[in-house]
Structures are given as structure tokens and as C-alpha cells.
Structure 1
Amino acid sequence: MVTRKQYTKEYKLDAISLVLEQGHTTSEVSRSLEINANMLRRWIREYQADDADQSFRGNGKLTAEQEEIRQLKAQIKQLKLEREILKEATVFFAKETK
């Protein structure tokens, strides 16, 4: 099985700057860096669509909003579990008192 090659954020930003700031074509840059031209075009689109510092966050690097959502979902899951435990305990102790 072939593993996908992963590129660092700095590498992607350097490749993008060759096209956007230095005026090279995507074909030239993709040939010299030995990457697919379509991938380079996608990197450029993502860079232009997002804020520069938000582009190419990578796996596990969430924005502040995404991190908050993740924490809230974990908290909801924990609260639901605690509620179920309390329901079962209530039923248990109700049977014991009879």
C-alpha cells in the first residue's frame, strides 16, 4: 500500500509564494518541486479562501471555535452518562427501601 506524502505548512506556503509573489507559473513550480500541478492549485485556492494563518492547520490543529465545540460535545457526553447513572441509582435505591 502506498502512503500519501505529507507536506509541511511551511513547504506549502513556500510553493504558494513562488507562484503568487515571484510570478512563476503553477506548471513551472510543480515541475521543479516534483508535485502535482492540481495539488498546487488547490493549495493556492485554500490559501486565498482562508486567512493566511488559518490555512493548512493539519491534523489535530483545531481553530478556537472547533476546539470549543469538541469540548462542549465531550461535556454533553459526560453529563448524559452521569444522568443515566443517577437514574439507575434511583431505581436501585427505590427497590431497596420497599
Structure 2
Amino acid sequence: MAKRKNCPEEFKRDAVDLVYSSPDRTLTDIAHGLGIHLETLRKWIREDRTRAHAADGGRGADMTPDEKEELKRLRRENARLKEDNEILRKAAAYFARETTR
């Protein structure tokens, strides 16, 4: 039995982004290049599509494919920026605490 890897969320997002940005490559090729199983990559893509569908409340039918991709990109960027802000907030609190000692 193969050992399960717990991949970071950022790796998963980057893998899905790679699939969307590489229409000329097969899923098999991308999965092999990333060192993951094909079905794992398919699962991540399904999860991303489900998240995107839930995030727009199922209203994506009236959007063009380019608008949908832009919205996905902006939402991912927003999530990353929120993570960065949280890290910076914690770092600032740590350094403020250290300078008062």
C-alpha cells in the first residue's frame, strides 16, 4: 500500500492553477510531473470547482468562461493575501511583545 502524503493547501492550489493554465498538457502528464497520483489531481480539481460553484451561489451560469477564471484567480489571490496579513499581524504582535521586555 502506498504511503499517503499530506500536501499543503498552497501546493494543491498551485497544481489546480497549473491544470487551468496548461490546456495543452494532459492531466496524466501534470500529475506525473508533480509526483502525485492522477486521481488525486482530479479530486483537487473537483474540489476547486465545487468551492467556486458554492462561492458564487451557483450563479456562475451568466458569466463568461473568462469572467469565471478571473473570479477564481481573484478569490485565490484574496485568500492568499488574507493569509499573508494574518502572518504579518502575528509577527508584529510577536515583535511588539519582544521589544517591551
TM-score, normalised via structure 2 length: 0.46
Q: Which has the higher contact order (CA 8 A, sep 6+)?
A: 1
Larger radius of gyration: 1
TM-score, normalised via structure 1 length: 0.47
Q: Which has the higher helix share?
A: 2
